[in-house]
């Protein structure tokens, strides 16, 4: 599904030039649950943002569903993004002015799904994540765990082929964190491809493959024997 080949990215400020990603090659197959690990500043979020088409890269190649993404215009990237990718962030990134329902509905609106259809799908997602009773509430009225469930619901409501999660448990306590991770495993088992950035090896344990980055270089890649079973 995803082929990265010799991908590099540097950030430059007025004084210094930082290499965030250095010659990365990576393959993610459809249905995989990939965890990207590594210390702070190793480039894992940058990698995720590039895969999510939120950020650009300087050299190398990135093929998504066998289509080259290098040099794609913003408009086309947006199109790709909204059709194929769902995002879950550490800080949830919900829109404060919109209710739970409206937040979840957004990707469907941008994909020009009809209103009736939207309603069915949003309600389905809310039910699945057990937040139906909060549908009219605003993000600030919810706990962190609930907010992240809304974010996950928003990520999956459009049935994307790829879900990108950037430290989804970073702002949650262990109980709520577990719930979110279980949810992702479940989504994965139903066929969604998931890439998750984390620096917790506990979290990474939920994935099927772990890639470790250090200073923008892939230093390890191992297939994970699942330690935690889903009941």
User: What does the binding site for another protein look like in residue numbers (CB under 8 A)?
Assistant: 45, 49, 52, 54-55, 75, 78-79, 81-83, 87, 89, 91, 93-97, 106-107, 110-111, 140, 154
Shortest reach from residue 115's CB to another protein, in Å: 16
Please state, in angstroms and rounded to a whole number, the distance separating the CA atoms of residues 28 and 195: 9
Q: How far is the CB of 153 from another protein (least distance, A)?
A: 13
Whether the Cβ atoms of residue 10 and residue 20 lie closer than 8 Å to each other = yes
38/107 with CB nearer another protein:
107
**CB nearer to another protein: pick between 107 and 216:** 107
Nearer to another protein, 109 or 120 (CB): 109
* CA distances, 188 to each of 30, 91, 162 (Å): 10, 22, 10
Closer by beta carbon to another protein, 153 or else 210: 153
Are residues 139 and 92 in contact, defined by beta-carbon separation less than 8 angstroms? yes
The partner residues of 7 in beta bridges, in order of sequence, read: 24
Q: How far is the CB of 55 from another protein (least distance, A)?
A: 5
Hey, what are 188's tokens? 């994965």
- Report, in Å, the least distance between residue 138 CB and another protein: 10
Q: Could you tell me the smallest distance in angstroms from the CB atom of residue 10 to another protein?
A: 15
The nearer residue to another protein, 109 or 230, going by C-beta atoms, is 109
**DSSP line for 56-103:** --SEEEEEETTEE-TT--HHHHHHHHHHHEEEEETT----TTS-HHHH
Q: How far apart, in Å, are the Cα atoms of 91 and each of 41, 111, 180?
A: 18, 24, 14
């Amino acid at each position: 599904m995803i082929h990265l080949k010799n991908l590099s990215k540097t950030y430059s400020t007025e004084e210094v030039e930082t290499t965030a990603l250095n010659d990365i090659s990576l393959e993610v197959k459809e249905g995989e649950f990939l965890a990207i690990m590594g210390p702070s500043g190793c480039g894992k979020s940058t990698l995720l943002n590039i895969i999510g088409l939120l950020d650009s890269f300087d050299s190398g190649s990135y093929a998504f569903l066998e289509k080259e993404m290098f040099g794609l215009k913003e408009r086309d990237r947006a199109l790709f993004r909204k059709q194929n990718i769902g995002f879950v962030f550490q800080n949830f990134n919900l829109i404060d002015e919109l209710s739970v329902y409206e937040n979840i509905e957004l990707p469907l609106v941008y994909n020009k799904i009809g209103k009736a259809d939207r309603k069915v799908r949003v309600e389905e997602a809310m039910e699945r994540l057990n937040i139906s009773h909060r549908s009219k509430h605003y993000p600030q009225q919810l706990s962190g765990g609930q907010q992240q469930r809304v974010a996950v619901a928003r990520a999956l409501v459009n049935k994307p082929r790829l879900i990108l999660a950037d430290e989804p448990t970073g702002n949650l306590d262990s109980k709520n964190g577990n719930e979110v991770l279980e949810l992702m495993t479940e989504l994965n088992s139903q066929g969604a491809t998931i890439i998750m950035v984390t620096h917790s090896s506990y979290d990474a344990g939920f994935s099927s493959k772990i890639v470790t980055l250090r200073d923008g270089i892939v230093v390890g890649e191992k297939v994970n024997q699942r330690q935690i079973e889903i009941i």
